[in-house]
């Protein structure tokens, strides 16, 4: 009887390993078979949705996201300011040729300091963040950064990476887990945690790339890109230093972003910034 249980256990382990390999191979083929070239960022990305699908996803999620922050702000004049600056950025560069439908929302929440973008061009700024900004250029910096997320297709890219990570983590869990060995649960949990941390790193890289794109976009619209540095300084002051370690955060800390923004400005304008930019 003991010999039979051992043989059965070996067969079960072999079957789990085979299934794990199949899951991993399918996940990899699906991911690496979805190459698309991004003309704005000049890079090849692995994305399995179209621009039209991104727009549809963003439009579908926009009302719910708005409600989470108190809905649209009732001040139509302030909303018009956000619209004017956002549209100025879009119309001043190649953004209008991307096919995205940009729409800018000022949210009523005046306690939360936040801005975010949904796939396809839905961009949100809370009143809590707007109150920290002092100039048109600073608001342009926030909007330019969020526009960067959209045209760099970070949401779509992240969805594809999440599918890959989920598939590979599932394969690792399948291979590591042994129902006859309780200790294998720890290995399975570790595999899932590694997958989550990989996606966190992607999020930090996305933020830095969006800062770089924001510098390009707002400068093309006539805004001083150094305003983005002032935004980071305001955010650092508002945070009061109460941040978790950057390694476990999806956003780089403001100090690191300031360095990245300055490097982007130096690269975009090696001869220095011209005169007449809106601060």
166 among known catalytic residues = no
Helix, strand or coil, per DSSP, at residue 103: strand
Angle between helices 154-176 and 51-68 (to 10 degrees): 90
Catalytic residue among 136, 146, 157, 207: 146
Give the integer Cα–Cα distance in Å for 153 and 36.
Answer: 11
CA 76 to each of CA 73, 105, 235: distance values in angstroms, whole numbers, following the listed order: 8, 11, 25
Give the integer Cα–Cα distance in Å for 17 and 19.
Answer: 5
Helix, strand or coil, per DSSP, at residue 35: strand
For residues 153 and 45, is the Cβ–Cβ distance under 8 A? yes
Please count the CA atoms within 13 angstroms of the CA of 79 that sit on its side-chain side: 13
Residue spans of alpha helices (H) in the chain: 2-32, 51-68, 76-91, 127-130, 136-151, 154-176, 184-220, 227-239, 254-268
Which of the residues are catalytic?
A: 146
């Amino acid at each position: 009887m003991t010999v039979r249980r051992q043989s059965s256990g070996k067969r079960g382990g072999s079957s789990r390993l085979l299934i794990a390999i199949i899951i991993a191979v399918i996940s990899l083929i699906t991911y690496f078979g979805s190459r698309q070239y991004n003309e704005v960022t000049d890079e090849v990305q692995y994305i399995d949705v179209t621009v039209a699908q991104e727009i549809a996803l963003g439009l579908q999620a926009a009302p719910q996201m708005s409600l989470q922050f108190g809905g649209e702000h009732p001040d139509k004049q302030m909303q018009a300011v956000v619209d004017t600056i956002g549209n100025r950025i879009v119309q001043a560069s190649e953004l209008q040729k991307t096919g995205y439908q940009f729409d800018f929302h000022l949210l009523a929440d005046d306690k939360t300091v936040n801005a975010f973008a949904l796939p396809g061009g839905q961009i949100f700024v809370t009143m809590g963040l707007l109150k920290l900004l002092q100039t048109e250029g600073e608001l342009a910096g926030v909007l330019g950064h969020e526009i960067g997320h959209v045209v760099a297709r970070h949401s779509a890219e992240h969805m594809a990476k999440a599918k890959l990570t989920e598939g590979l983590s599932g394969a690792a869990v399948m291979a590591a887990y042994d129902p006859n060995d309780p200790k294998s649960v720890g290995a399975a949990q570790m595999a899932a945690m590694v997958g989550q941390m990989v996606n966190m790193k992607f999020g930090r890289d996305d933020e830095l790339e969006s800062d770089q794109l924001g510098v390009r976009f707002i400068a093309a619209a006539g805004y001083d890109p150094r305003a983005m540095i002032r935004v980071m300084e305001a955010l650092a002051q508002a945070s009061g230093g109460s941040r978790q370690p950057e390694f476990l955060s999806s956003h780089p800390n403001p100090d690191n972003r300031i360095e990245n923004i300055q490097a982007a400005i130096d690269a975009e304008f090696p001869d220095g910034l011209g005169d007449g930019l809106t601060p």
